[in-house]
Amino acid sequence: MENLSALALEPVVIRNIEKWLSGNYDIVTKNEIKKLIEDKNTEELTNAFYKDLEFGTGGLRGIMGVGTNKMNKYTIAAATQGLSNYLKKSFPGEQLKVAIAFDSRNNSKAFAKITADTFSANGIKVYLFEELRPTPELSFTIRHFGCHSGVVLTASHNPKEYNGYKAYWNDGAQMVAPHDTNVIEEVQRIASVDEIKLEGNPSLIQIIGKEIDKEYIEKTASLSVAKEAIYRQKDLKIVYTPIHGSGITVVPEMLKKFGFENVHVVEKQSMPDGNFPTVIYPNPEEKDALTLAIEKAKDLDADLVMATDPDADRVGIAIKNSDGQFQLLNGNQTGSLLIYYLLSSWKEAGKISGKEYVVKTIVTTDLIANMANAFGVKNYDTLTGFKFIAEVIRNLEGKETFIGGGEESYGYLVGDFVRDKDAVNACAFIAEMVAWAKDKGSSLYETMVDMYIAYGFYKESLISITKKGKTGAEEIKQMMKNLRDNPPLTVAGSKILKICDYENVIQKDLSTGKIEPLPYPKSDVLQFIAEDGTKISARPSGTEPKIKFYFSVNEKLSSKGQFKAVDKALDEKIKQVIKDLGIE
């Protein structure tokens, strides 16, 4: 095309554009590409075609639109065809089965239909949810039906222009190596859109719904540890918002099943809507996303506020502090409290025998490991991504007992019959935890302070820097290179003692110069650990165009009266660490 050759585009971009314009793609798609060429929109053409979408820590995720690097019916169908090809190679001679779910995002239902059609066109039995459902329920469904794989169409908490495709293996967990890379290799082998089977086989697609909800709810409720406390505190005032997402389908019903009778849903955010009209980002990490819920909680004088993201695998909470004001907890605080509650309630019930364990990620607070050790329970660390937590559960199945686990990014899990972070499950147990504390004459905020006094006051912070497109990816790569080449030697007046480089799978003791291997797969993460226990982690996101910096500091807390002073001192320390690193 003459207009295309006149643009200053890289050869790979031109090849991919020409492939789509000459291939068996629909006319609407081709016209969109031609319009970008006519407008000489080289930046958009480059971002859309400079590479293929790849599986990261959460599968495929990207902005919706035309192109090899965008979420659209062809990239989704290609991923499904590649996954189908891989399943056939992995389970020869078996009648393959998959489950499919989707959330409230724009196009999620249509993308789920395309996914179901492609699987069924390949002779694979499909269990497709009738309407939107939480991601963790998809994990449950895979295990419930004995499926070989599964897919959920969601972009989790990303802005409304995004969508995604999370692929699962037969244990109900998101894919880890070698399956994730093998599927991408299968996708890359697809030379033409004509190799993708798009004509579905309706006889192989079974619609599922409320019968699975019932099984999932009953199984989760069977894990409850403090049923008597809930009964006594059944009027606990709970405000819940699904932020226009899939949580509305199951969370209120789950809370009711656990025994909570005073649950108030934020009506303005109760309807599923992929435009997320009441928030900028449908992310429970963001204060703005909980604004309406906190307003309602103030009116009701509620005990607890909970918000789930669009696919209901992550939950954010707010509780009343010592001044009677609603305070948002970060992911480390909620995760620590949940593990503290589980360890305490299991001990009270006489359920700790020495074979139990919890799991967290390497960027999640070490307070969890300290508490586990104090209770005689093992703690396992994993790389970032819940699929690695699920991998530990799989490897220890039948040998040790999983109590719970989580990661700082607001993802938690109690019990092992789901193999992904589960906000539906977590909402129920967070409410149970508040009831347990209230039954003892305490609040969750007071319980948190008590936890810090007993096991150390840990405080964490996170900075995310967004770098979009191809140039952004290159900038992030350079930032990591600079950190490797010129690591910090001191932060906030404390010497760096150890550097952990997960990309090169080594850890170096700076005091002795000794280098040892790290017991993890290769991952682009750097950690710096200081003499005073300060920990800094740098990690490019696997699902978003971001680089994330995690900061953890800690101090002893001797009494409740010291809390505010130590809290302020830790805040100042984090600010100094950030300043010393020159990140902001």
Any bridge partners for residue 125, and if so which? 97
7 and 82 together in one domain: no
- Tell me the H-state helices in 461-521: 469-485
328 and 356 together in one domain: yes
Contacts of residue 110, defined as CB under 8 A and 6 or more positions apart, other chains included, come to: 73
185 and 268 together in one domain: no
Cβ–Cβ under 8 Å, residues 255 and 239: no
98 and 232 together in one domain: no
Per-residue pLDDT of the chain (584 residues; tens, 9 = 90+): 557 777 889 999 999 999 999 999 999 999 999 999 999 999 999 999 998 887 655 678 899 999 999 999 999 999 999 999 999 999 999 999 999 999 999 999 999 999 999 999 999 999 999 999 999 999 999 999 999 999 999 998 888 999 999 999 999 999 988 898 888 889 889 989 999 999 999 999 999 999 999 999 999 999 999 999 999 999 999 999 999 999 999 999 999 999 999 999 999 999 999 999 999 999 999 999 999 999 999 999 999 999 999 999 999 999 999 999 999 999 999 999 999 999 999 999 999 999 999 999 999 999 999 999 999 999 999 999 899 999 999 999 999 999 999 999 999 999 999 999 999 999 999 999 999 999 999 999 999 999 999 999 999 999 999 988 778 888 999 999 999 999 999 999 999 999 999 999 999 999 999 999 999 999 999 999 999 999 999 999 866 788 999 999 999 999 999 999 999 999 999 999 999 998 86
Q: What is the pTM of this model?
A: 0.94
Query: What is the rounded CA–CA span in Å between residue 211 and residue 216?
Result: 9
507 and 380 together in one domain: no
394 and 406 together in one domain: yes
Identify the CATH number of the domain in which residue 493 sits.
3.30.310
Residue 466, classified by CB atoms within 10 Å of its CB into exposed (0-12), middle (13-18) or buried (19+), is exposed
Identify the CATH number of the domain in which residue 182 sits.
3.40.120.10
Task: Please measure the distance between the N-terminal and C-terminal CA atoms of the chain and give it in whole angstroms.
Answer: 45
Report the 10 Å Cβ neighbour count for 128. Answer: 22
35 and 57 together in one domain: no
Contacts of residue 26, defined as CB under 8 A and 6 or more positions apart, other chains included, come to: none
Scan for tokens 């179901």, then name that residue: 116
Q: Give the model's pLDDT for residue 48.
A: 95
In DSSP notation, 143-190 reads: HHHT-SEEEEE--TTS-TTEEEEEEE-TTSSBP-TTHHHHHHHHHHT-
Query: What is the rounded CA–CA span in Å between residue 362 and residue 368?
Result: 11
Q: Give the model's pLDDT for residue 438.
A: 98
Q: Cα angle vertex 414, ends 247, 381, to 5°?
A: 115
171 and 232 together in one domain: no
Report the 10 Å Cβ neighbour count for 321. Answer: 16
Among residues 208, 243, 272, the one where a domain terminates is: 208
Scan for tokens 């789930």, then name that residue: 308
10 and 129 together in one domain: no
Q: Give the model's pLDDT for residue 568.
A: 97
Cβ–Cβ under 8 Å, residues 284 and 243: yes
Per-residue three-class SS string for 368-380: HHHHHHHCCCEEE
Structure tokens at 90: 């992995």
31 and 125 together in one domain: no
179 and 259 together in one domain: no
b/e 100-116 (16+ beta carbons within 10 angstroms → b): bbbbbbbbbbebbbbbb
Structure tokens at 132: 């939107």
Scan for tokens 């039995």, then name that residue: 125
Cβ–Cβ under 8 Å, residues 369 and 360: yes
442 and 293 together in one domain: yes
| Three-state secondary structure call for residue 511 | coil
Q: Cα–Cα distances in Å, from 530 out to 489, 497, 549? A: 9, 5, 15
**Sign (positive/negative) of CA torsion 384, 386, 387, 389?**
positive
Cβ–Cβ under 8 Å, residues 248 and 311: no
Residues labelled catalytic: 156
Please name which of 64, 62, 78 lies closest in space to residue 20, comparing C-alpha atoms: 78
Residue 136, classified by CB atoms within 10 Å of its CB into exposed (0-12), middle (13-18) or buried (19+), is buried
Report the 10 Å Cβ neighbour count for 352. Answer: 16
Residue 252, preceding peptide bond in cis (omega within 30° of 0): no
Any bridge partners for residue 308, and if so which? 315
Please name which of 541, 548, 547, 531 lies closest in space to residue 488, comparing C-alpha atoms: 531
Q: Give the model's pLDDT for residue 56.
A: 58
| Region for residue 68 given its phi and psi (left: phi exceeds 0; alpha: psi -120 to 50; beta: otherwise) | alpha
**Sign (positive/negative) of CA torsion 483, 484, 488, 494?**
positive
The total number of residues written for the chain in this structure: 584
The DSSP output letter for 281 is S
Among residues 183, 208, 233, the one where a domain terminates is: 208
Residue 159, classified by CB atoms within 10 Å of its CB into exposed (0-12), middle (13-18) or buried (19+), is middle
Among residues 165, 192, 208, the one where a domain terminates is: 208
Print the domain residue range for 23: 1-46
Fill in the amino acid letter for 548. Answer: K
Report the 10 Å Cβ neighbour count for 95. Answer: 10
Domain count for the chain: 4
In DSSP notation, 406-471 reads: EETTTEEEESSSS-S--HHHHHHHHHHHHHHHHHTT--HHHHHHHHHHHH-EEEEEEEEEE--HHH
Query: What is the rounded CA–CA span in Å between residue 571 and residue 553?
Result: 9
